[in-house]
Structure 1
Amino acid sequence: RFVFCEPAGAPSLSGSLASGKRIKLAKVDNFVDGAAVAEIGREPLRHLRAFATEAVRLIPENRLCATMIEMLNVEGVVLEPAGALAIDALKD
């Protein structure tokens, strides 16, 4: 089973899967700059189009901040926002 995650402020993968074609977001929250894209690439979508929209977890940016702080305070690990996406998705 595959689980994907992307920032809630830049849901280009989930939006593209839902529409069945690449979409370009009019606005992107760039807090998670390493993963926030307005339009998923052609080649990545070609490989991912068989997955259901439900396989994509949208992670709210404020929850991601909490995960980053928790990792710092509990584990002593400093994460950048894109690196914290997968850690946060494991909470669900």
Structure 2
Amino acid sequence: MPKAYWIARVDVTDAEAYADYMALGPAALIGNGGKLLSRGGQAVALEGPEPRQRNVVIEFESMDAALACHASPEYTAARKARAGAAEVEILIVEGLPE
């Protein structure tokens, strides 16, 4: 079964409120099987729109696992904490078969 990659593009609009998300979000991702591969490091746009402030890549064992994490009670609470604190785009991409 191919792995899946959660790609999040984030512009923080309220750093103080976003800190509430950071207290919950990473733990929810890891606790639901995610492996953080990149989180907020340098990003360069070679084509297309400029990167957002934070660009995050998280590996999951499968597309189902990534979707289940997003729907989990833990990540739902993190999303609620993040509401109004950031502009967020999240995409889940299925990897190649192993």
Structure-2-length-normalised TM-score: 0.25
The structure in which a higher percent of residues are helix is: 1
Structure-1-length-normalised TM-score: 0.26
Higher relative contact order (Cα pairs below 8 Å, separated by 6+ residues): 2
